[in-house]
A = this chain, B = another copy of it.
Amino acid sequence: MNRSRGTLSELLAPVAAPLERMRAILAAQVAEDSAAVRDMTGHVERFHGKQLRGALVLLTGEATGNTTDEHAAVAAIVEMIHLATLVHDDILDGAEVRRRVACVNQRWNNQVAVLLGDFLYARAFALSTQLSSRLCSQLLAETTRVLCVGEIEQSTRRYDFDMSAVSYESIAAAKTASLYAAACELGARYPGGNVELGKRMASAGRNLGLAFQIIDDCLDLTASEDEIGKSVGTDVEDGKLTLPVLYTYGSADERTRAAMRDVYTRPDIEGRRARLFETVDLARGLARAEARAEELVEEALGWLAPLPPSPARTALESVFHFVVTRRQ
């Protein structure tokens, strides 16, 4: 597989101008007269991160020749929904509150984190209702529902070592890949029409999102906090069974399996991620998960085949590669 070269922002050069517009819209949307809200949204700017989902709206718009004046707003809406999910992901339960620091909910408490996420969702939907076409509202409201169901399913499968790789992918498709799919579909067909091309790009986005999630789960096991700029090992701490671990568990003997379960479930132990690596060799599970992510991205690249050559299409392909080669 060709590997991407250069930083993400270099890859996004073909949509640099609309990305700036997207960021300006985002900034304007989260601005509020309320000082309390301003204080919080100011803090959340650190979450902006890669803005990959917004960029996908713009890149697929360009690569399909479908760009409109409203694409930057659609991209901002997609990013706001993503931000809302990030803020809500940080809501913690009693035990976890004591363990972690520096999320929104640590600075302001859980209640305010819930409200800030709700505010971001509301802003996103309010902006979408102002656009000329209802497609954005319709697609993103439905996507948000799917995304919530995926998260709920995931939370009920915690500590479920018998979960199949298929179940893992179906949950990841809902909770993560659905927003990637919506971003690519909206880029390709907003404000409407073009159903077939939309479906094709949605499939590419879904594959890409799934690959993104798998790599995210691998990095949660292998990366340092410095490398990825967020807490690591949280999946092991929270009992989330991810693909590399499920692969490893699936091919382990019963004694190793029991030891793995113990690492996840024994109360009040520190550093579960390090203990997991002491308990079992995860290398093959990790390699297999990464191979699966690469396979998904190859398939995603296949969906792009009918698009005419253009800098945007090349950039899109590079972003697809970036997702599986990233170390952050």
Contacts and interface: CB of A to CB of B under 8 A. Distances in A.
A138 B148 CA distance: 22
Interface string A210-244: 00000000000000000000000000000000000
A106 to B, nearest CB: 11
Interface residues of A, number: 46
Contacts of A118: 88, 117-118, 121, 144, 148, 151
A125 B111 contact: no
Interface string A95-123: 00110000000001111101111110111
A32 B150 CA distance: 12
A25 interface: no
A149 B40 CA distance: 11
A139 to B, nearest CB: 9
Contacts of A141: 122, 125-126, 128-129
Nearest to A98: B94
Contacts of A115: 88, 148, 151-152, 155
Contact of A152 (B36, B130, B153, B155): B36
A109 to B, nearest CB: 5
Given A119-B145, A144-B118, A152 B112 contact: yes
A149 B32 contact: yes
A34 B149 CA distance: 7
Given A93-B97, A125-B125, A155 B119 contact: no
Contacts of A147: 122
Contacts of A111: 91-93, 155
Interface of A: 32, 34, 36-37, 40, 88, 91-94, 97-98, 108-112, 114-119, 121-123, 125-126, 128-130, 134, 137-138, 141-142, 144-145, 147-149, 151-153, 155-156
Contact of A114 (B32, B91, B119, B137): B91
Contact of A94 (B34, B97, B114, B145): B97
Contacts of A149: 32, 34, 37, 119
A152 B97 contact: no
Contacts of A32: 149
